[in-house]
């Protein structure tokens, strides 16, 4: 197939299919998701060239994200390990391209629904694998060209297709509210459509949400639990208190049925619990790094290498990251990047809130709430962990940022039609 024969309409189809593949494969990471992303980027650029429309769709996050990536590039020149930081910056650039791809190429509600459904299906499959792992002891770790299996003790903290339980928890904190929004939106349809046409989808969506919640519990990630609780509080408070209470009771019931959950919850209040005290030492060290590298940080992906120099004398663990996303960005990229990152989140929350309050269509309104609640949960989880640098969470996070902008555009279009 010659490129000259490919018309803009065909490019749009290739871009959408590539995005669907990327979203579906992102929970297992690896080369295939990135390859699909690169294919989408290539045909997006090619479409702009042949149609002679080289421009970006305006969106509130465009400038802060562009500046954030630019400051990340500048930080390479001040890095303690420039080559390491350059490789990490390439990944950051790739994540940001996910955002721009979605903002500039999702133009219809059907496209948006297909992307969201692919995302929910993929995370549901990851949850099922995690549940199987918990009860069988079969751990699944994705590698570039093959699947390898390591046998784990039954009841071990599950990681499913991720490399770490906390990364898996971060994925579900973003995905569960979105899954609940699809369930609630479909439930509302029962009042306006034939029940026989929607009840099957309703059951599948409910099972999907329950599978993700159960798998999140099995990660034993306390930050993930707190993040999900915050997301559910927002979701229930703003939309459906009965719906929220039902899921909250299900989660509380799990603490009674699963003994390990009670033990993990009890450790939250014990400041001398090993992982708690090590996190405090990590935060202190991150602040010292920021003090010594205030403007551009010590370099992307160098925290683990520089940590021994700032490690507290009482600390026993060699931390890979600061266990706080904001401190991590401040330490590795500097205060300028940290300020921009806060700008991104402030803009994101204000945009989603405005969209939620003004979008007239019921289902899009509920989806907006799901995205908003997911980001609230992620914000909370980010105070205790750093997971956005990992491919599965990173691709999902930046994709949802793009989806948030698309939802805002649909809101404006709906107002214009009126």
Tokens of 33: 């998701």
* SS3 labels along the chain: CCHHHCCHHHHHHHHHHHHHHHHHHHHHCHHHHHHHHHHHHHHHHHHHHHHCCCCCCCCCCHHHHHHHHHHHHHHHHHCCCHHHHHHHHHHHHHHHHHHHHHHHHCCCHHHHHHHHHHHHHHHHHHHHHHHHHHHHCEEEEECCCCEEEEECCCCCCCCCCCCCHHHHHHHHHHHHHHHHHHHHHHHHHCCCCCHHHHHHHHHHHHHHHHHHHHHHHHCCCHHHHHHHHHHHHHHHHHCCHHHHHHHHHHHHHHHHHCHHHHHHHHHCCCCCCHHHHHHHHHHHHHHHHHHHCCCCCCCCCCHHHHHHHHCCCCCCCCCCCCCCHHHHHHHHHCHHHHHHHHHHHHHHHHHHHHHHHHCCCHHHHHHHHHHHHHHHHHHHHCCCCCCCCCHHHHHHHHHHHHHHHHHHHHHHHHHHHC
Cβ pair 239, 245 in contact under 8 A: no
CA distances from 377 to 170, 293, 298, 366, 371 (A): 9, 30, 28, 16, 10
Q: CA dist 11 to 8, 21, 39, 50, 390, Å?
A: 5, 15, 10, 10, 29
More confident residue, 67 or 417: 67
**pLDDT at 128 exceeding the cut of 90:** yes
The whole-chain average pLDDT of the chain stands at: 85
Answer whether residue 15 is part of any domain.
yes
Range(s) of the domain holding residue 358: 3-272+319-417
The more confident residue out of 150 and 126 is 126
d(CA 123, CA 391): 14
Spatial CA neighbour of 341 closest among 280, 283, 300, 292 = 300
Q: Pull the structure tokens for residue 13.
A: 């189809």
Give dist(CA 407, CA 405) in Å, integer: 5
Mean pLDDT value of segment 56-74: 96
Domain membership flag for residue 314 = no
What's the confidence (pLDDT) of residue 123? 95
* CA of residue 414 relative to chain centroid, distance: 28
Over 70: is that where the pLDDT of 363 sits? Answer: yes
pLDDT at 61: 97
For 37-64, write each residue's pLDDT tens digit.
999 999 999 999 888 888 899 999 999 9
* pLDDT at position 236 over 60: yes
**Residue 241 pLDDT more than 80?**
no
- Residue 226: pLDDT over 70: yes
Q: pLDDT for 367-393, tens place per residue?
A: 999 999 999 999 999 999 999 999 889
Q: 216 in a domain, yes or no?
A: yes
Mean pLDDT, range 175-189, rounded to an integer: 79
Q: What is the pLDDT of residues 76-121, one digit of tens each?
A: 999 999 999 999 999 999 999 999 999 999 989 899 999 999 999 9
The answer to whether the beta carbons of residues 149 and 140 sit under 8 Å apart is yes
**62 domain-assigned:** yes
pLDDT at position 142:
37
193 compared with 339, residue with greater pLDDT: 339
* HSE-CB for 117 with a 13 A CA cutoff: 11
276: CB partners within 8 A, 6+ apart: 267, 268, 270
Q: What is the distance of C-alpha 151 from the center of its chain?
A: 28
Confidence band for 335, pLDDT divided at 50, 70 and 90? very high
Terminal CA-to-CA distance of the chain, rounded, Å? 44
Reply yes or no on whether the pLDDT at 192 is more than 50. Answer: no
CA distance 284 to 307: 11
151 pLDDT tier (thresholds 50, 70, 90): very low
- Domains of the chain: total: 1
Using CA atoms, how far apart are residues 397 and 162, in angstroms rounded to an integer?
16
- Residue 347 forms part of a structural domain: yes
Structure confidence at residue 20 (pLDDT)? 94
Query: What does the pLDDT look like over 264-278, one tens digit per residue?
Result: 766 766 676 778 899
Distance between CA 42 and CA 323 in Å, rounded?
Answer: 35
Residue 204 within a domain: yes
Lowest-pLDDT range of 10-24, 217-231, 237-251: 237-251
pLDDT at 154 (0 to 100): 43
Q: Tell me whether residue 301 is in a domain.
A: no
Q: Is position 404 within any domain? A: yes
Give the per-residue pLDDT at 369: 94
d(CA 310, CA 284) in angstroms, rounded, equals 9
Torsion of CA 397, 283, 280, 380, to 10 degrees: -30
What pLDDT band is residue 6 in, cutting at 50, 70 and 90?
A: confident
Look at residue 415 in the predicted model and tell me its pLDDT. Answer: 56
Residue 257 has pLDDT above 70, yes or no: no
pLDDT value at 135 more than 50 = yes
Q: Give this prediction's pTM.
A: 0.89
List of residues 6+ apart from 286 with CB closer than 8 A = 303, 322, 324, 327, 328, 330, 331
């Amino acid at each position: 197939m010659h490129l000259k024969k490919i018309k803009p309409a065909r490019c749009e189809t290739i871009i959408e299919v590539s995005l669907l593949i990327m979203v579906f494969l992102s929970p297992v990471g690896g080369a295939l998701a990135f390859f699909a992303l690169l294919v989408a980027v290539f045909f997006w650029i090619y479409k702009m060239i042949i149609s002679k429309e080289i421009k970006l769709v305006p969106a509130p996050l465009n400038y802060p994200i562009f500046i954030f990536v630019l400051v990340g590039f500048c930080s390479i020149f001040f890095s303690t390990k420039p080559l390491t930081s350059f490789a990490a910056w390439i990944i950051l650039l790739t994540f940001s391209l996910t955002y721009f791809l979605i903002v500039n190429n999702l133009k219809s509600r059907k496209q948006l629904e297909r992307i969201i459904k692919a995302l929910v299906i993929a995370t549901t499959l990851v949850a099922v694998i995690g549940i199987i792992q918990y009860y069988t002891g079969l751990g699944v770790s994705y590698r570039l060209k093959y699947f390898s299996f390591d046998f784990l003790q039954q009841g071990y903290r599950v990681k499913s297709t991720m490399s770490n339980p906390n990364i898996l928890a971060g994925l579900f904190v973003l995905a569960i509210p979105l899954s609940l929004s699809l369930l609630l939106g479909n439930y509302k349809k029962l009042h306006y459509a034939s029940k026989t046409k929607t009840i099957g989808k309703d059951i599948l969506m409910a099972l999907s949400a329950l599978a993700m919640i159960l798998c999140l519990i099995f990660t034993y990630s306390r930050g993930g639990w707190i993040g999900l609780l915050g997301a559910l509080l927002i979701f229930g408070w703003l939309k459906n208190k009965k719906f929220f209470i039902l899921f909250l009771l299900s989660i509380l019931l799990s603490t009674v049925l699963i003994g390990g959950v009670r033990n993990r919850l009890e450790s939250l209040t014990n400041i001398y619990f090993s992982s708690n005290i090590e996190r405090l030492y990590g935060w202190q060290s991150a602040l010292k790094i920021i003090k010594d590298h205030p403007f551009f940080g010590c370099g992307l992906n160098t925290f683990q290498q520089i940590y021994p120099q700032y490690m507290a004398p009482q600390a026993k663990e060699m931390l890979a990251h600061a266990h706080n996303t904001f401190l991590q960005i401040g330490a590795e990229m500097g205060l300028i990047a940290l300020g921009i990152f806060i700008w991104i989140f402030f803009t994101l929350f204000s945009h989603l809130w405005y969209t939620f309050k003004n979008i007239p269509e019921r289902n899009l309104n509920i989806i907006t709430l799901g995205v908003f609640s997911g980001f609230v949960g992620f914000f909370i989880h980010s105070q205790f962990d750093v997971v956005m640098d990992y491919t599965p969470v990173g691709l999902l996070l930046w994709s949802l940022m793009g989806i948030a902008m698309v939802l805002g555009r649909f809101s404006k279009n709906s107002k214009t039609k009126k």
